[in-house]
């Protein structure tokens, strides 16, 4: 599996993928790291590993089709077979979603379908969890479709919301879940064990010959 990782920030989930690859828990290679921000820490992580980087901000293109075409061309040129979003704060163009249908995933710092959608990222999500009085939060890995946070759910894990919880403490505990959950989900795709039945994701068992 040849990955492209899209990130807008520091890239701690990107680092979790790299660590999992190094440890033999994720059978994949990262071919390209794409960001909409030149200052994104994820780009530095990629450059430190000799991974190709690309900065493309859709706001810089008057014609969105030009941006879409350049993005698709870059993915193809680097032999990308799968896309992972890691704190990427731009919507993926429909043309890219179509070209990589069911081969783009994202991680969201809440238990979707709750607390998803436009504007729900980072601290905004954790504050919303606390304001609604949820007893549990967590992280969700989902397949990306044309809308925000609406694609089929691949994996989820939970953390209890503590009585003295703040958005910052909840974010830190959810992030630990993310760093474990995301590489595990990517490995399922690498092993070709993910099947879609309608909107339901089924995980096939490991074949006896590999167990």
Catalytic annotation, residues: 108
Token pair, residue 196, equals 């879609």
Distance of CA 116 to the CA centre of its chain: 14
d(CA 76, CA 90): 20
Distinct helix (H) and strand (E) counts, the chain: 6, 9
Q: How far is CA 156 from CA 2, 27, 110, 129, 137, in A?
A: 24, 21, 9, 16, 10
d(CA 59, CA 50): 27
Q: How far is CA 36 from CA 41, 122, 133, 194, in A?
A: 12, 17, 34, 29
3-class SS of residue 187: helix
CA atoms within 13 A on the CB side of 150: 8
CA angle 51, 57, 58 (to 5 degrees): 130
CA atoms within 13 A on the CB side of 5: 34
């Amino acid at each position: 599996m040849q990955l492209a990782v899209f990130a807008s920030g520091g890239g701690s989930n990107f680092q979790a993928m790299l660590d999992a690859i190094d440890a033999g828990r994720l059978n994949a290679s990262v071919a390209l790291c794409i960001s909409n921000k030149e200052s994104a820490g994820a780009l530095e992580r990629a450059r430190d590993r000799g991974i190709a980087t690309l900065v493309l901000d859709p706001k810089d293109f008057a014609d969105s089709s030009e941006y879409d075409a350049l993005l698709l061309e870059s993915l193809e040129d680097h032999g990308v077979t799968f896309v992972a979003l890691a704190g990427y704060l731009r919507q993926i163009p429909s043309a890219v979603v179509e070209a990589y249908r069911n081969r783009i995933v994202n991680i969201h710092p809440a238990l979707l379908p709750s607390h998803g959608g436009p504007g729900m990222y980072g601290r905004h999500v954790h504050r919303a969890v606390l304001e609604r009085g949820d007893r549990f939060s967590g992280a969700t890995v989902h397949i990306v479709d044309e809308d925000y946070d609406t694609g089929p759910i691949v994996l989820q894990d939970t953390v209890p919301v503590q009585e003295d919880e703040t958005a910052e403490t909840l974010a830190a505990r959810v992030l630990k879940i993310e760093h474990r959950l995301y590489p595990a989900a990517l490995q399922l795709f690498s092993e070709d064990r993910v099947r879609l039945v309608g909107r339901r994701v089924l995980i096939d068992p490991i074949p006896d010959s590999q167990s």
